[in-house]
Amino acid sequence: MKKKTLILLIAGILMLLSASSCAGSEKRANQKELEKIEIISAYSTIVKDIYGRGSPKFTAGSDFCVVDLTESKLSEADQEELIKKLKSFCEGYEYTLLLDTYDGLKEKGLLDEDGEYREGFIISFKDKKIKKEKITTTVSLYYDMVDRLELDYTAYKKDGIWTISADNYAVAEQD
């Protein structure tokens, strides 16, 4: 009888340890999901910031917002989440979101003879680092290779709040 009680006691302890291990795994998975959502929110804030700083010259009369993520260090899953947010952003301005590059638009014949994309504008990311509490990236807003707004962004999380700053503000406009 003592042997049976000991076996049941050990089995009970193992079940409790297993349950707490599962709870810990679930908590870690939830934490990773939260970090992913926060990083996507930081990127979304950066897009809104550069769009707000841009001259209407870049966006006036546009039908399309082209986003170039080819130099982004976001995972494919994170890019998909960002694209969902960007679609919502574009719908608010009645733009159609396209995922492409300047060279891709050129190859498709969507640029005019001067190399300008008059149907819309392009936002491109050149990520330097992505960490769970800090992102550094260079973001450009343009419709050709001459007229552009480019900023080096740093997004960092402090006390649970993402803050962005932009440095090396570069504007190249040709009339």
Sheet holding 134-142, edge to edge: 96-99, 64-71, 120-131, 134-142, 148-158, 161-172
pLDDT of residue 112: 83
Which ranges of 54-157 does DSSP label H, i.e. alpha helix? 56-59, 76-92, 102-107
- Better-predicted residue by pLDDT, 22 or 71: 71
- Better-predicted residue by pLDDT, 71 or 32: 71
**Stretch (H or E) spanning 170:** strand 161-172
pLDDT of residue 29: 47
Helix (H, G, I), strand (E, B) or coil at 167: strand
Which ranges of the chain does DSSP label H, i.e. alpha helix? 2-53, 56-59, 76-92, 102-107
**What is the reported pTM?**
0.75
* Pairwise CA distance, residues 35 & 168, whole Å: 28
Whole-number average pLDDT of the chain: 81
In the chain, where the domains are located: 2-172
* pLDDT band at 98; cut points 50, 70, 90: very high
Over pLDDT 90: what percentage of the chain? 38
pLDDT of residue 153: 95
* pLDDT band at 54; cut points 50, 70, 90: confident
The answer to whether residue 33 scores a pLDDT higher than 70 is: no
CA distances 20 to 8, 16, 107, Å, are 18, 6, 56
Determine contact, residues 164/46, Cβ cutoff 8 Å: yes
The answer to whether residue 64 scores a pLDDT higher than 80 is: yes
Our CA dihedral for 98, 99, 103, 105, rounded to 10 degrees, sits at -20
* pLDDT band at 1; cut points 50, 70, 90: low
**Residues 96-105, mean pLDDT to the nearest whole number:** 93
- Better-predicted residue by pLDDT, 118 or 9: 118
The answer to whether residue 30 scores a pLDDT higher than 70 is: no
Tokens of 97: 């979101």
Determine contact, residues 83/41, Cβ cutoff 8 Å: no
Span 110-162, pLDDT tens digits:
888 888 887 889 999 999 998 878 899 999 998 776 778 899 999 988 887 77
